[in-house]
């Protein structure tokens, strides 16, 4: 047992070293900007760069709309499947997992070929349309995570009884979804939302191929042209990802643990 | 009135026969937005590329595009992509498994496990361009580790032929999100190993080694293989890290496709479709195996 514990600590220690050293190294590199001494100059340069503010702002707005679109698509669907059409659930689950199978670069390649300015749906004909297509693409990339989160949330409430109770009280579908289902799965939706945010904020492939001024292409551009700023940006991105994941962990603590009627 | 409650199954079932017959088509309206969305923005674009891979520019059927994938540059790109994805998947899975076993079974304090799981959640999502920056700052020519090795240990990493912009460098970088992903996925499977199995084996006189060889490894094997395949697909489709790390100097498939989309570097749009089809084919096959292993492993985890 003693030997087992030793090996466990050794494995954990080596693993921890592999994961922590690059973070320390990145931080150290970012602070090397001023010659001969450590400073936060690189961070100051990054935060002062108007393109940083613009692209980061753009990605935050894109993430917001992605979450909105994802919720609008996923919540009613997952609810309806649980309520009325459990038999087609495997089909829906299969579709929601497809974005993990089809690489993002392939999906966006399809968009570029299908939605050009001469097509029946000319998304790429205008800047606004391309923004919309970017958000749609992100919603597709986030679909597996969003659907899983919402479906797990719905599992903890008794959808059928709640719906019937609401209908007896005279509620329409809009009221049921907005005032009954959504508040009940809010925590699940929020954890899906933060995961979506973490995925979208530094996304490179889709934004770059659609030529949108997002944070991901900006990161790549800085990486190709600067020395110390990329390290500072990596630290910032890591902190943002860390923040999103911590919020998800905290939300999980508030989520209802037991189901009324587990199925 | 109060005797009829709608939530009572029998009463509810007594009403619908006629009602359900009327409702049948409207029922699909509830999922129509989802299907419309998925077809327009997921299935149709993919189908468009797959069909395009089998067509000439005039729209006639052909297998030429697929045959052209065999030309040396494209073949080399597929080969290096497969090598990097395979190496990072297998190594990542083995290390991830070792870490998961250590935190679940190693008798370490409780905080070690929760810290590892939280960190794995973060690190498995810390991919893309920033990850490349982090590794350049660590193992690049001026990276911290490179410098420490050189100045303190007198060991010049780059004289050994190592380069962060190469196969081994890319694999090492991909491990940063592959290992945590493995830890996140495999830990529940290790939790599923019941204590009773170990006790039963011990009662029957099995040694620790026999218990591992005849109980633990066979039970974990399908989950392990399944996750390796998932990691493979995960690495195979990734482009941002490699692109930020190496520019276009390392010729992996997603980077080749990226260049083709941007500027038709292969001078044949339909060859681009064929490359995309090849990628879908490989990740698709990988996932078929994944689902197969997954259903086999779930038998033990109930």
pLDDT by residue (tens digit) across A60-94? Answer: 999 999 999 999 999 999 999 988 888 888 899 88
The predicted model gives B207-222 an average pLDDT of: 84
Q: What confidence category does residue B299 fall into, taking pLDDT thresholds of 50, 70 and 90?
A: low
Closest CA to A184 of A161, A209, A218: A161
Contacts of A1 in chain B (CB under 8 A): 107
Put simply, the answer to whether A15 touches B99 (Cβ < 8 Å) is yes
Q: Is A262 left (phi over 0), alpha (psi -120 to 50) or beta?
A: beta
For residue B5, the model assigns a pLDDT of: 44
A250 and chain B: CB distance < 8 Å anywhere? no
- Which CATH number belongs to the domain containing residue A227 in this structure? 1.10.3720.10
Burial A68-101 (b: 16+ CB within 10 A, else e): ebbbebbbbbbbbbbbbbeeeeeebeebbbbbbb
Q: Is residue B18 part of a domain?
A: no
Q: What confidence category does residue B15 fall into, taking pLDDT thresholds of 50, 70 and 90?
A: very low
Closest CA to B239 of A103, A140, A138: A103
Q: Is residue A128 part of a domain?
A: yes
> Which SS3 state, helix, strand or coil, does residue B238 take?
coil
The predicted model gives B277-285 an average pLDDT of: 90
| Of the candidate ranges A128-132, A174-178, A205-209, the one whose mean pLDDT is the lowest | A174-178
> Which SS3 state, helix, strand or coil, does residue B269 take?
helix
A38 and chain B: CB distance < 8 Å anywhere? no
Put simply, the answer to whether A77 touches B179 (Cβ < 8 Å) is no
Q: Has residue A141 got a pLDDT over 90?
A: yes
The predicted model gives B184-212 an average pLDDT of: 85
| Of the candidate ranges A22-26, B5-9, B90-94, the one whose mean pLDDT is the lowest | B5-9
Q: What's the total number of domains in chain B?
A: 1
Q: Is residue B152 part of a domain?
A: yes
Distance from CA of A248 to the nearest CA of B (A): 10
Residue B201's CB: how many other CB atoms inside 10 A? 18
Instruction: Output the CA torsion sign for B257, B44, A214, A22.
Output: negative
Q: What is the extent of the structural domain holding A148?
A: 51-254
Q: What confidence category does residue B40 fall into, taking pLDDT thresholds of 50, 70 and 90?
A: very high
More confident residue, A154 or B249: A154
For residue B238, the model assigns a pLDDT of: 86
Q: Is residue A102 part of a domain?
A: yes
Q: Cβ contacts of residue B147 below 8 Å, gap of 6+? A: none
Round to whole Å and give the CA distance between A25 and B137. Answer: 6
The predicted model gives B189-202 an average pLDDT of: 84
Round to whole Å and give the CA distance between A219 and A237. Answer: 10
Closest CA to B273 of B62, B80, B42: B62
Residue A184's CB: how many other CB atoms inside 10 A? 19
For residue B178, the model assigns a pLDDT of: 93
Q: Is residue A145 part of a domain?
A: yes
Q: What confidence category does residue B1 fall into, taking pLDDT thresholds of 50, 70 and 90?
A: very low
B285 and chain A: CB distance < 8 Å anywhere? no
Distance from CA of A242 to the nearest CA of B (A): 6
Which residues 185-244 of A have a C-beta within 8 angstroms of B? 195, 198-199, 202-205, 209, 216, 219-220, 223-224, 230-231, 233-234, 237-238, 241-242, 244
Eight-state DSSP code of residue B65: H
For residue B24, the model assigns a pLDDT of: 55
Q: Is residue A11 part of a domain?
A: no
Put simply, the answer to whether B261 touches A137 (Cβ < 8 Å) is no
Name the residue in chain B with its Cα closest to that of A111: B45
Q: Is residue A15 part of a domain?
A: no
Q: Has residue A15 got a pLDDT over 60?
A: yes
Q: Per-residue pLDDT tens for B145-194?
A: 888 888 888 888 787 777 777 888 899 999 999 999 999 988 888 888 87
Put simply, the answer to whether A209 touches B258 (Cβ < 8 Å) is yes
Rounded (5°) CA angle B228-B135-B156? 110
Q: Is residue A38 part of a domain?
A: no
Q: Is residue A121 part of a domain?
A: yes
**How many angstroms separate the Cα of B131 from the Cα of each of A118, A233, A234, A238, B99?**
38, 10, 7, 9, 21
The pair of structure tokens assigned to A196 is 């979506």
**Strand extents, DSSP E, B85-226:** none
Q: What's the total number of domains in chain A?
A: 1
The predicted model gives B246-262 an average pLDDT of: 85
The predicted model gives B65-85 an average pLDDT of: 89
Q: Has residue B13 got a pLDDT over 60?
A: no
Highest mean pLDDT among A51-65, B56-70, B282-296 belongs to: A51-65
Q: What is the extent of the structural domain holding B153?
A: 71-298
Q: Is residue B245 part of a domain?
A: yes
Mean pLDDT, chain B, whole residue set: 83
**How many angstroms separate the Cα of B63 from the Cα of each of A108, B54, B58, B76?**
24, 6, 14, 20
For residue B173, the model assigns a pLDDT of: 92
Q: What is the pTM of this model?
A: 0.86
Do A33 and A39 touch, CB atoms closer than 8 A?
A: yes
Q: Has residue B302 got a pLDDT over 90?
A: no
Q: Please give the full DSSP string across chain A, using - where no structure is assigned.
A: -HHHHHHHHHHHHHHHHHHHHHHHHHHHHHTT-STTS--SHHHHHHHH-HHHHHHHHHHHHHHHHHHHHHHHHHHHHHHHHHHT-GGGHHHHHHHHHHHHHS-HHHHHHHHHHHSSTTSSS-GGGSHHHHHHHHHHHHHHHHHHHHHHHHHHHHHTS-HHHHHHHHHHTT--HHHIIIIIIHHHTHHHHHHHHHHHHHHHHT--HHHHHTT---HHHHHHHHHHH-SSHHHHHHHHHHHHHHHHHHHHHHHHHHS--S-SS--
Q: Is residue B63 part of a domain?
A: no
- Which CATH number belongs to the domain containing residue B75 in this structure? 1.10.3720.10
| Of the candidate ranges A97-101, B257-261, B295-299, the one whose mean pLDDT is the lowest | B295-299
For residue B7, the model assigns a pLDDT of: 45
Q: What confidence category does residue B2 fall into, taking pLDDT thresholds of 50, 70 and 90?
A: very low
Distance from CA of A202 to the nearest CA of B (A): 7
For residue A65, the model assigns a pLDDT of: 96
């Amino acid at each position: 047992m003693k030997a087992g514990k030793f090996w466990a600590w050794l494995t954990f220690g080596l693993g921890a070293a592999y994961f922590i050293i690059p973070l320390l190294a990145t931080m150290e590199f970012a602070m090397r900007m001023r010659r001969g001494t450590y400073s936060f100059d690189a961070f100051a340069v990054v935060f002062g760069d108007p393109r940083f503010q613009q692209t980061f702002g753009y990605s935050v707005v894109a993430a917001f709309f992605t979450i909105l679109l994802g919720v609008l698509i996923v919540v009613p669907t997952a609810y309806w499947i649980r309520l009325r059409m459990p038999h087609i659930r495997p089909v829906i689950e299969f579709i929601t997992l497809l974005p993990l199978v089809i690489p993002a670069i392939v999906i966006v390649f399809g968009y570029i070929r299908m939605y050009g300015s001469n097509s029946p749906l000319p998304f790429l004909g205008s800047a606004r349309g391309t923004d919309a297509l970017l958000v749609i693409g992100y919603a597709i990339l986030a679909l597996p995570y969003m659907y899983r989160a919402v479906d797990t949330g719905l599992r903890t409430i008794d959808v059928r009884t709640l719906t019937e109770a609401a209908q007896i009280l005279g509620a329409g579908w809009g009221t049921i979804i907005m005032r009954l289902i959504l508040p009940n799965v809010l925590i699940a939706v929020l954890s899906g939302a933060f995961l979506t945010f973490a995925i979208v904020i530094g996304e490179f492939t889709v934004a770059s191929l659609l030529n949108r001024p997002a944070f991901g292409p900006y990161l790549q551009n800085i990486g190709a042209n600067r020395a110390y700023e990329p390290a500072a940006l990596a630290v910032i991105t890591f902190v943002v990802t860390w923040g999103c994941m911590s919020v998800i962990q905290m939300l999980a603590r508030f989520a209802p643990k037991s189901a009324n009627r587990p199925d | 009135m109060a005797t009829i409650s709608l939530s009572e199954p029998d009463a509810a079932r007594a009403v619908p026969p006629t009602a359900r017959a009327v409702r049948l088509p409207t029922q699909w309206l509830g999922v129509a937005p989802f299907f419309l969305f998925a077809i327009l923005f997921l299935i149709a674009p993919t189908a468009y590329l797959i069909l395009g891979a089998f067509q000439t520019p005039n729209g006639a059927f052909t297998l030429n595009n697929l045959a052209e994938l065999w030309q040396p540059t494209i073949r080399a790109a597929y080969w290096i992509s497969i090598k990097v994805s395979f190496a990072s998947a297998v190594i990542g899975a083995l290390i991830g498994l070792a870490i998961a076993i250590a935190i679940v079974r190693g008798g370490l304090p409780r905080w070690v496990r929760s810290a590892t799981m939280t960190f794995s959640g973060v690190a498995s999502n810390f991919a893309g361009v920033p990850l490349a920056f982090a590794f350049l700052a660590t193992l690049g020519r001026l990276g911290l580790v490179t410098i420490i090795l050189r100045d303190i240990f007198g060991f010049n990493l780059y004289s050994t032929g190592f380069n962060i912009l190469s196969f081994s460098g890319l694999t090492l970088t991909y491990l940063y999100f592959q290992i945590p992903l493995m830890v996140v996925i495999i830990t529940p499977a290790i939790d599923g190993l019941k204590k009773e199995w170990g006790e039963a084996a011990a009662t029957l006189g099995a040694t620790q080694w026999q218990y591992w060889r005849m109980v633990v490894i066979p039970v974990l094997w399908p989950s392990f293989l399944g996750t390796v395949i998932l990691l493979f697909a995960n690495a195979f489709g990734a482009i941002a890290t490699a692109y930020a790390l190496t520019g276009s100097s390392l010729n992996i498939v997603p980077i080749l496709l990226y260049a083709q989309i941007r500027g038709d570097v292969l001078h044949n749009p339909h060859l681009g479709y064929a490359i995309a089809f090849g990628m879908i084919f490989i990740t698709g096959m990988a996932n078929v195996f994944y689902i197969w292993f997954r259903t086999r492993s779930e038998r033990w985890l109930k």
